[in-house]
Amino acid sequence: MNLSKGVKDCLFRLQGLIGWARSPSQVSLDLTHKCNLRCAFCFYFHDAVPAAGEGVSSAPVSWKVLVRQVIERLPTRDYFLTGGEPFIYPHLETLLIQLKEKRKRVYVSTNGTLIDEIWAEKIVRHGLFEKIDISLHGPEKIHDELSRVKGAFQKTVQGIEYLQHYKRKIGVARPMIGIACTISKENIPQMRELAALAQRWSLDTLTFGHMSFTTSPIIEKHKDFSKGTKMGEDFSLSELILGPPDHGLSKEDIGLYIRNLREIRQDFSSFFRLLPVPAYREEEIWRHYFDTEWAYLRRCRYPWRTLRVTPSGKVIPCLGVVVGDISEEGADHIWNNKNFRTFRKTLYQTGLFPGCARCCKLK
């Protein structure tokens, strides 16, 4: 049933007041905090990343627990696998088979370096993914510098080529394949070159995303607010997600980014879908970087739509607030338990928390 925007807004107001939510429209599984790259702008490149009381060395939750406590308990069809690097997760193939058997649509964000020929054939032949978004942050020299691993570009390219080879060989359109690029001072001048690569490889999408950053005064304001609400937020994780205090981009950089975006939209639109995230208008791009009081949206619906599970099985709506643990309780119960409803009510009454303004979920 398709509801009008007015009806949807009315329902959201009612849900917001009590903190209740319908079954999640998507499940996000953070399978691991480990990664084989060390991207300069990523909050997971550290040797030990605390995530609501867990570290990189923590044992990942068993695939059996994920199946029993999440997949079999929710009607949700769309699953998003992320990390860290999802292909490091030791039980990935088994988990994908379980998701496939239960007719779930699976999307993955990966750096692509671990997709060898064997993986590529399995993925394509068995239809394991609906879409694969592969991180690529520029041509070879730039990408290797930003990922801090020499040879990363060539491994990623090989993964893409293996996938496209088996799609042609087997004669299927899935999985869709896209490049996801986080913009930076180093790669903005190379955007057209990245678009040319997407065209050469016959990719489906090219995404340009903005890095997370939060000024020091806003971080302190967020901490004060969070302590006052007694959400039990783990700031060691939240500070990582909020990002560094400065984005390091000049007005000249952003001007060039906007011009490149226009040209790519004009010259490459017949080859792939261009997906800037969020879908800012040009004046909003300027405000994202140079107006610290501005926010793209004034309300966030992410905790009403998405169940997010960390590698150790903790359920977090966002930032460092734990609302449940799938090793102790099924996801269907956690989704509207007291902790989750309290978090949603607090968010709805506030509009946005101070640290939310540059969150990638506001889209």
* Segment of 52-61, 74-83, 245-254, 298-307 carrying the highest mean pLDDT: 74-83
pTM equals 0.91
Q: CA 73 → CA 88, 101, 304, 335, distances in Å?
A: 26, 15, 17, 11
- Residue 241: pLDDT band (50, 70, 90) is low
Using an 8 Å Cβ cutoff, are 82 and 31 in contact? Answer: yes
82 or 3, higher pLDDT = 82
- Whether the per-residue pLDDT at 15 is higher than 90: the answer is no
DSSP string over 238-297: HHHHH--S-----HHHHHHHHHHHHHHHHHHTTTSEEEEES---HHHHHHHHH-TT--S-
pLDDT tens-digit readout, 206-218: 999 987 788 888 8
If you ran DSSP here, which 8-state letter would residue 314 be given? Answer: E
The predicted pLDDT at position 185 comes to 95
Q: For residue 345, with 0-12 CB atoms within 10 Å meaning exposed, 13-18 middle and 19 or more buried, which class applies?
A: middle
- pLDDT over threshold 60, residue 357: yes
